Amino acid sequence: MADIARRTEHRYGNRPTMKDVAARAGVGLKTVSRVVNGEPGVTPDTERRVREAIEILGFRRNDSARVLRKGRTATVGLVLEDLADPFYGPLSRAVEEVARAHGALLFNGSSAEDPEREQELALALCARRVDGLIVIPAGDDHRYLEPEMRAGVATVFVDRPAGRIDADAVLSDSFGGARGGVAHLIAHGHRRIGFIGDRPRIHTAAERLRGYRAAMEDAGLPVRDAWVSLGSTDPERVSTAVREMLAASEPVTALFSGNNRVTVTVVRALARHGQPVALVGFDDIELADLLGVTVVAQDAAALGRTAAERLFRRLDGAEEAPERLVLGTTLLARGSGEIAPSDV
Amino acid sequence: MADIARRTEHRYGNRPTMKDVAARAGVGLKTVSRVVNGEPGVTPDTERRVREAIEILGFRRNDSARVLRKGRTATVGLVLEDLADPFYGPLSRAVEEVARAHGALLFNGSSAEDPEREQELALALCARRVDGLIVIPAGDDHRYLEPEMRAGVATVFVDRPAGRIDADAVLSDSFGGARGGVAHLIAHGHRRIGFIGDRPRIHTAAERLRGYRAAMEDAGLPVRDAWVSLGSTDPERVSTAVREMLAASEPVTALFSGNNRVTVTVVRALARHGQPVALVGFDDIELADLLGVTVVAQDAAALGRTAAERLFRRLDGAEEAPERLVLGTTLLARGSGEIAPSDV
DNA sequence: CTGAAAGCGCTAACAT
DNA sequence: ATGTTAGCGCTTTCAG
């Protein structure tokens, strides 16, 4: 009596175990295990008895215990920036599909662009003994993951490279994409082009800025300080930047926006502005086609899929050296990037 | 030698355990456990020695083992329809935030609107012994979860109610929202209004259709069969439906679209159409403000937050009867819903 | 303040 | 074909 009460506390709710099933079916523990795991060496008749007992008791194997014994959890963790950002949804889903194909479940967590939170999350996942980790870095120092990786946690970075460690990374060509997008504006006659991007400590933001500068330099165009604005993607900040660039002594005639969050706000700000201003944005956005917004699109799903495939290849024993894969971007001309400068 | 090799196979990579730390620090196993878990009863000096050993060995507690002993995993599972759908991103993120506040990690999985896959996923999560489950149902029979719930898995359904079992559910007011949206169109003079929605076996789709019919009936307006189209949200299917309703013998002058997926396609289809057609959509969409699309917005984040809070209240021991919470919707008038009928 | 022993539910290895 | 034993890494219990 007291014994039952005591046990109950410790058990998940009050679940039957293989032992209980074995007792009920009048067989040994291992036989139950065999049936549950579809292993051979059980007569149809015993199997039937075991299955009956399972049914009656509502038994379900405790994978926690299994994991402890087997050493693999069939679980991967995905640390991203913000699950609510439409860019990460498809990426996450793509990772999930690959994980599913490999029989693994997926932990998801958002770092909220906070390096500490990223670390906390990644390490919590390691403590749960995920087999692998896919990380969209918020921070720029990932040495904290070295012991984990040495201990066998396969790790792939996506969207941004790891900092201060040598690890797989799957990236979009931010530099090339931005350079191409800005070149597109230049080809349409613009000479004063503004760049509004995310905080420069974010790798992709820095790369896109570099792409902008390269395109300007390629064309022999100067870049005024007033034409470059980096910072948070807060709508307030971005709107102000747009306003200032359009009102400067040498006003820009075109804008390049550094990511989807920025683009959304820029489109809104330009809608309020009287004159037409050309715009190319990095990242595609839903309904951007109807608004005629020209963008440099990256394939978020391909990013996730590629990273996950690489992860599972490593889990399957591949021992290749860490590698950096770069996926191309696509310029989608829809109108806003093809507006000629209004006052040349 | 052989012994080490054998062990290695079984261990997660090759990680040190508390036993290893204890040996290295020259203390007992339990002392390490005390230090790791911040339990009292360890002199500062021993604690220091233990921490050193932990540092040197790169020890990290194996939560899988801990879970097995403690019976709680500090893990919740979220089964949704499609992580890539912009509606579920914010919902998922909201759940995550609540989970985080309670020290729990989050499993995410997509059912792809397939009842079997939903069940497979939910049960896999139960096998991992998640403490709780948040489910956006794809199917309409959730009796398979009864044994799990009895065994102590807290379960809350979101966005759609559970089928054939009594369980908590957090929903948006689909009926009221749709009724209000259609009434809005009627108030602007429309008498022939089309409804394009998702498959009717989806609870929200059925409710929204019911809301449409109620609004029409309230106004004493007939509903022609040709004005109602339910089915997949495939763009092809939806475009065709739009085209047919506009070309019918009694063509509609306004449309109500049943969810975000449908609305996107309808907006595109109407953009290609010559005449202006009024539109109100269920669900808000990014950039819908700029396109002037009037919508009935639901608060996806509130849905997720409310469900997660309820889940954790149950995990903290609340024994209230299962309840159905319904969150209100908001009509956002932006232009498309205020267009007068062109031919009255 | 500290540690040895038992056991969480399962699987691997080895009987029978 | 089936069962028995040991042990995965941790926490709980209880004894020093």
B:84-103 residues touching chain A, CB 8 A cutoff: 84-86, 88-90, 92-94, 96, 100
**What are the CB-based long-range contacts (under 8 Å, 24+) for B213-216?**
B214/B175, B214/B179, B215/B178, B215/B179, B215/B180, B215/B181, B215/B182, B215/B183, B215/B186, B216/B182, B216/B186
Nearest CA in chain B to A144: B58
Chain position carrying tokens 């997949």: B232
Query: CB of A268 under 7 A from strand C?
Result: no
The residue-averaged pLDDT of B180-190 equals 98
For range B48-59, the mean pLDDT: 93
Kindly list the domain boundaries of chain A, sorted by start residue.
2-61, 71-172+300-327, 174-298+331-338
CA B43 – CA B47 distance, rounded (Å) = 6
The whole-angstrom separation of Cα A29 and Cα A192 is 77
* Window 1-40 of B, Cβ < 8 Å to A: 9-15
Look at residues A267, A277, A276 and name the one whose alpha carbon lies nearest to residue A238. Answer: A267
Q: Which residue of B has its CA nearest to A11?
A: B71
Contact call for residues A151 and A301 (beta carbons, < 8 A): no
Q: Are strands B75-80 and B105-110 parallel, antiparallel or unpaired?
A: parallel
Say what the pLDDT of residue A342 is.
Answer: 79
Q: What is the pLDDT of residues B252-273, one digit of tens each?
A: 999 999 999 999 999 999 999 9
The per-residue pLDDT for A193 is 98
Sequence-distant (6+) residues with CB within 8 A of A316 are none
How far away is chain B from the Cα of A130, in angstroms, using its nearest Cα? 10
Distance of residue A110 Cα from the nearest chain B Cα, in angstroms = 8
Q: What per-residue confidence (pLDDT) applies to B291?
A: 94
Nearest protein residue to the C1' atom of C1, measured from CA: B41
B125 contacts A152? CB cut-off 8 A: no
pLDDT (tens digit per residue) in B97-124: 999 999 999 999 999 999 999 999 999 9
Q: What is the DSSP letter of B276?
A: -
**pLDDT computed for residue A71 by the predictor:** 86
Residue A13: predicted pLDDT: 57
- Looking at the DSSP assignment, which residues form a beta bridge with residue A80? A110
Same fold for the domain at B2-61 and the one at B71-172+300-327? no
pLDDT at B12: 55
B109 vs A: CB within 8 A? yes
Distance CA A255, CA A103 (A): 45
Angle CA B239–A84–A63, to nearest 5: 105
Strands, DSSP E only, in A2-131?
75-80, 105-110
B249 sits in which H/E element: none
Return the DSSP state at B304.
H
Q: Which two tokens stand for residue B325?
A: 């919470």
Q: Which of residues 38-67 of A touch strand C (CB under 7 A)?
A: 59, 61-62, 65-66
Record: contact A268-B289, CB cut-off 8 A: yes
Inspect the interface and report whether the beta carbons of A152 and B62 lie closer than 8 Å.
Answer: no
CATH architecture of B174-298+331-338: 3-Layer(aba) Sandwich (3.40)
Residue with tokens 């807060």: A234
Report the SS3 class of residue B101: helix
Identify the pLDDT of residue A318. Answer: 87
What is the pLDDT, as a whole number, of residue A14?
74
- To the nearest 10 degrees (0 to 180), the angle between helices B88-101 and B300-315 is 30
**Predicted local distance difference test score (pLDDT) of residue A332:** 98
- Name residue, tokens 């359009």: A246
pLDDT (tens digit, 9 = 90+) per residue, B197-235? 999 999 999 999 999 999 999 999 999 999 999 999 999
Question: Is there a contact between A58 and A16 (Cβ–Cβ < 8 Å)?
Answer: yes
Q: How confident is the model at residue B317 (pLDDT cuts 50, 70, 90)?
A: confident
pLDDT average per 10 residues of sequence, chain A (344 residues)? 36 78 93 93 92 93 92 94 96 98 96 97 95 96 95 95 97 98 98 97 97 98 97 97 95 97 96 93 95 97 98 91 97 97 68
In this structure, the strands spanning B105-110 and A105-110 are antiparallel
Second CATH level (architecture) for the domain A2-61: Orthogonal Bundle (1.10)
Q: What are phi and psi of A64, to 5 degrees?
A: -60, -45
CB-CB under 8 Å, A64 with B68 = yes
CATH architecture of B71-172+300-327: 3-Layer(aba) Sandwich (3.40)
Please say whether the beta carbons of A240 and A301 come within 8 A: no
Q: How far is CA A74 from CA A130, B110, B125, B314, in A?
A: 7, 17, 12, 28
